[in-house]
Amino acid sequence: MNLATFSALLPKLAFLVAPALFAQSGPMPPPPLMLFVREEVKPGHGAAHAATESAWTRALTKGKSTEYYMGMNALTGPTEAWFIIGYSSYADWEAKQNEMDKNPALKKEIDQVSMEDGNHLSGSRSYLGVYRKDLSYGPPVEIGKMRYFRVRTFRIKQGQNKAFEEGVKLALDGYTKSHYAASFAFFEIAAGTGSPAFIALRPMKSLADMDAMEASDKAFQEALGEDGRKTMQKVFADTVNSVENQLFAFNPKLSYPAPFVVASDPAFWTPKSVK
């Protein structure tokens, strides 16, 4: 992960909570703020990139950092690695940046690892998301037990945010009426992109969860009714420039997970290669 995501992004301005909860496990709501770090990995550099990320993790562990994050690999689309970092507030985000600055030894080691990591990347970008509970659906999940994310990125036409949100809320009515068996979290992108955008995250324990989607989607469409479907389709056609759908798999070798994440499944989150 590029060091800029920790130190340079703050001055310039896809499931962690307050530190008091870090040692707990169990279902938890998404954090108020989420930093999405999107790295484009050069073809053939996947294993080397994972190795430098493991070195990053060892440095943070030795430095007793509380800058926890979860990493995942793209199963579809471009060859990418994404990292998600949660914060309880903007003040919490700032405190994490200051934590790095107050530990010169850690910062020096991270600088070195960052240079090595850059050799395996063709580019990177960061997005800051604000959790939108009013646009999200389903009960909290135990993120440490999840293995996959379906990530949908909506790029919205200028001035159409409110109309788009009304379309999402119409869809939420259909999900509720059909008892849709899933949870997803909506984040509105506050910084990092040139156009309005939202990221919707659907966590899954297994890719087998997608096998049941056809039946669930049919029940959802029936719950909307013909008029509801036509209205929702028109709203999205009028407000959305594009939608990007991707599947990701969590990778412990790319992660520096919080204690509560590890507690959910220690065997998965602490493989020998990253201890």
Comparing CA positions, the residue from 150, 153, 176, 178 lying closest to residue 164 is 153
Residues 262-267: contacts with CB within 8 Å, 24+ apart? 262/144, 263/23, 263/24, 263/25, 263/144, 264/25, 264/26, 264/142, 264/143, 264/144, 264/145, 265/144, 265/145
Residue 40 identity (one-letter amino acid): E
Residue boundaries of the structural domains of the chain: 4-130+253-269, 131-246
Q: Tokens for 208, please give them.
A: 């087998």
Question: Which parts of the chain sit beneath pLDDT 50?
Answer: 2-22, 273-275
Interatomic CA distance for residues 43 and 80, integer angstroms = 10
pTM of the model: 0.86
Comparing CA positions, the residue from 261, 255, 245, 249 lying closest to residue 83 is 255
Topology at the third CATH level for domain 131-246: Alpha-Beta Plaits (3.30.70)
Residue 176 identity (one-letter amino acid): T
Residue 61 identity (one-letter amino acid): T
The predicted pLDDT at position 1 comes to 56
Contact 186, 168 (CB under 8 A): yes
Q: Tokens for 229, please give them.
A: 């479907």
The separation between CA 38 and the C-alpha centre of its own chain, rounded to angstroms, equals: 10
- What is the DSSP-derived secondary structure letter of residue 82? E
Topology at the third CATH level for domain 4-130+253-269: Alpha-Beta Plaits (3.30.70)
DSSP, residue by residue, 150-198: EEEEEEEPTT-HHHHHHHHHHHHHHHHHTT-S--BEEEEEEESSSS-EE
The predicted pLDDT at position 15 comes to 39
Determine the 3-state secondary structure of 119 from DSSP: coil
Interatomic CA distance for residues 82 and 57, integer angstroms = 15
The predicted pLDDT at position 24 comes to 63
pLDDT tens figures, 5-64: 434 333 333 333 333 334 567 899 999 999 999 999 998 888 888 888 888 888 888 888
Contact 81, 73 (CB under 8 A): yes
- Within this chain, domains 4-130+253-269 and 131-246 share the same CATH topology: yes
